Amino acid sequence: MYNIILTGEEIDFNFSELKSMGVDIYHYPMISTSKIINSINPNNFEYVIFTSKNGVKYFMNNLTAKIDDSLGFICIGRKTADKLAKYNFQADYILKRNYSRFMCEDIRALDLKTESKMLLAQGNLAKKDLFDCLSKFINIEQGIFYETSLIDQVNHEIKNLLEHENTFTVFTSPSTFESFIDKYNPNDKIISIGNTTTEYIEGRGYKPLVTAKMQSYEGISNSIINFLNKNLNYEICLLYTSDAADEGL
């Protein structure tokens, strides 16, 4: 009945509820990430701030020393904290709002010592907004530990899926959308993970049907389910109205 194309590099959600509704899920990554060699001694810092799971992964791959027990971690979102836990470390603080202006406000609200030296672990496409904001009130250094590359190869299976009227495409970052529209026409059935991605999509001349309220695959799934339920109810209503008119009711 419906097809969903996922374009993110890694999927950490099974979309079981959507599948139970008869939705077919396809995963075609539009980006790939790789390590940037940036050797780091973690014990030169009192806190490390992670804004993504990739930040955790590639930071850990660049360590030159064992992490001391005194090092603290600040994570944006539960998924990022869960990724950190896989390396046997617990986040001291988990922030819920995943936008630069909110992250900065939330970190400021932690009331950490301003002289504490912190590291912001990010990728090469990270905007400077968060770092610039944090620099105003804490001693912070930015570390770039991974790069994001766009997938160049054209996949004809994606083109075939896009020919179907009920195919939706999910974008989890501006880079996934940039990579996608370089090779395909996403039609008008676009799902965005959040406001930053939506703003980029709109800047490229497209309009998402749905922007997830929660920046996660769970949030995407819930938003798609709500959209499909409304759409199905609308179609049923039209069908009922048409049938009633035919019967002269």
Whole-angstrom distance, CA of residue 164 vs CA of residue 179: 21
Read off the pLDDT of residues 206-224 as tens digits, 9 standing for 90 and up: 999 999 988 889 999 999 9
pLDDT in tens, 97-119: 766 678 899 999 998 887 889 99
48-98 tens-digit pLDDT: 999 999 999 999 999 999 999 999 999 998 889 999 999 999 999 999 876
DSSP state, residue 67: P
Residue 241 has pLDDT above 60, yes or no: no
pLDDT on residue 113:
82
In this predicted structure, what is the pLDDT of residue 96? 84
Distance CA 230, CA 210 (A): 12
Structure tokens at 242: 């048409």
Name which of 172, 169, 174 is nearest 158 in CA terms.
Answer: 169
Provide mean pLDDT across the span 163-179: 94
pLDDT digits (tens, 9 = 90+) for 10-56: 998 999 999 999 999 999 999 999 999 999 999 999 999 999 999 99
Top-confidence residue, 155 or 214: 155
Specify the pLDDT at position 235: 36
Judge whether 237 and 218 are in contact, CB under 8 Å. Answer: no
134, pLDDT greater than 70: yes
The CA-based diameter of the chain, rounded to the nearest angstrom, is 80
CA distance 11 to 203: 26
pLDDT value of position 232: 54
Among 56, 60, 87, residue whose Cα is nearest residue 74:
56
